[in-house]
């Protein structure tokens, strides 16, 4: 096309002063954000396999008209931050509180000691495996995604086994939405490390949960009084991205032993006479089929 034709065409569609004035006075209709809150509910962004086990709890808001509102950070960590959000339907009393665990992006520090936990988590994609091993930006992002997927899968599995964990609502990318453990007005349940009452009963609850895990060939992998919550007399296990298959993982038995010793030593120091590291270790090894 000749140059003068190009100039004519460009001029044909040029905006004049009246057009610009009209655009400036016209409301922007491109903003499709919610009428209140910080975002529309992300419920419909997850596939059925990216949502928690059915039946969905009655308290969970699944309406597509719902909006999510941020209420601040509950916990910061090396690999992820946990935020408190409310999901509700505007103009109704349908609302629930959720804990949104968001794994850090590639440029931030990832999970501590991750190389030990990632044993056996190789993917079928050799390029991804190499990137993860080299800790490239792409590899770090893949690791973050693996942590999120691993934790969501663990929460779903343990919930269905009856292990006391928060209900896993959904996963969207590297964000896990789960049941908020705390009061209706947003106060998080204390960690076990902050609790001094009813420790004998809490010890029994914990042993029962750990026996269930070991019977499935699993160990938390990083269990301590700091990732156990106590809510209305009930013990709840949190932070499960590094859950370990004690049979398949080369160092599986050592993770099982460490979990047992960490929690039993703490309870014993608090005066719980039934708490004995050696006895708990032996019990869990037997349940996992590692004895002998």
Provide the pLDDT for residue 98.
98
Cα end-to-end distance, the chain, whole Å: 85
For the chain, list the domains and their CATH numbers. Answer: 34-188 (3.30.200.20), 189-292 (1.10.510.10)
Number of Cβ within a 10 Å radius of residue 56? 14
Please answer whether residues 108 and 175 qualify as being in contact, where contact means their C-beta atoms are separated by less than 8 angstroms.
no
Predicted local distance difference test score (pLDDT) of residue 172:
95
User: pLDDT truncated to tens, each residue of the chain (292 aa)?
Assistant: 444 444 434 344 444 555 455 445 555 545 567 777 789 999 999 999 999 999 999 999 999 999 999 999 999 887 899 999 999 999 999 999 999 999 986 554 444 445 444 454 444 555 544 544 445 555 555 555 788 999 999 999 999 999 999 999 999 999 999 999 999 999 999 999 999 999 999 999 999 999 999 999 999 999 999 999 999 999 999 999 889 999 999 899 999 999 999 999 999 999 999 999 999 999 999 999 997 5
Question: Angle at CA 232, nearest 5°, toward 68 and 184?
Answer: 25
Binning the chain into helix, strand and coil, the percentages to the nearest 5 are 40, 20, 40
pLDDT of 164 reads: 97
Alpha-carbon gap, residue 225 to 266, rounded angstroms: 8
Active site residue ranges: 222, 239
Which residues are CB-contacts of 211 (< 8 A; sequence separation ≥ 6)? Answer: 283, 284, 287
Best CA proximity match to 181, nearest among 197, 196, 194, 168: 168
Alpha carbon distances (Å) from 116 to 83, 94, 210, 227: 27, 43, 21, 19
């Amino acid at each position: 096309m000749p140059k003068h034709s190009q100039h004519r065409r460009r001029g044909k569609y040029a905006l004049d002063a009246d057009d610009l004035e009209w655009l400036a006075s016209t409301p922007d209709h491109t903003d499709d954000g919610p009428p209140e809150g910080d975002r529309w509910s992300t419920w419909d962004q997850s596939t059925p396999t990216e949502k928690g086990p059915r039946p969905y709890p009655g308290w969970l808001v699944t309406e597509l008209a719902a909006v999510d509102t941020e209420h601040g950070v509950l916990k910061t960590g090396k690999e992820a931050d946990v935020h408190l959000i409310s999901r509700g339907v505007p103009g109704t009393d349908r609302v629930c509180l959720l804990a949104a665990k968001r794994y850090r992006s590639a440029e931030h520090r990832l999970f501590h000691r991750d190389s030990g936990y990632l044993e056996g988590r190789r993917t079928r994609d050799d390029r991804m495996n190499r990137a993860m091993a080299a800790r490239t930006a792409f590899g770090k992002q893949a690791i973050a995604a693996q942590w999120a997927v691993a934790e969501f899968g663990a929460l779903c599995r343990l919930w269905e086994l009856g292990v006391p964990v928060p209900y896993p609502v959904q996963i969207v990318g590297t964000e896990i939405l789960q049941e908020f453990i705390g009061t209706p007005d947003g106060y998080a349940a204390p960690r076990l490390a902050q609790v001094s009452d009813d420790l004998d009963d809490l010890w029994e609850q914990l042993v029962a949960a750990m026996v269930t895990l070991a019977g499935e060939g699993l160990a938390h992998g990083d269990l301590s009084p700091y990732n156990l919550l106590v809510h209305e007399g009930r013990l709840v296990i949190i932070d499960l991205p590094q859950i370990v298959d004690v049979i398949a993982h080369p160092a599986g038995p050592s993770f099982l032993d460490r979990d047992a010793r960490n929690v039993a030593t703490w309870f014993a120091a608090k005066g719980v006479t039934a708490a004995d590291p050696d006895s708990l270790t032996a019990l869990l090894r037997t349940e996992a089929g590692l004895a002998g």
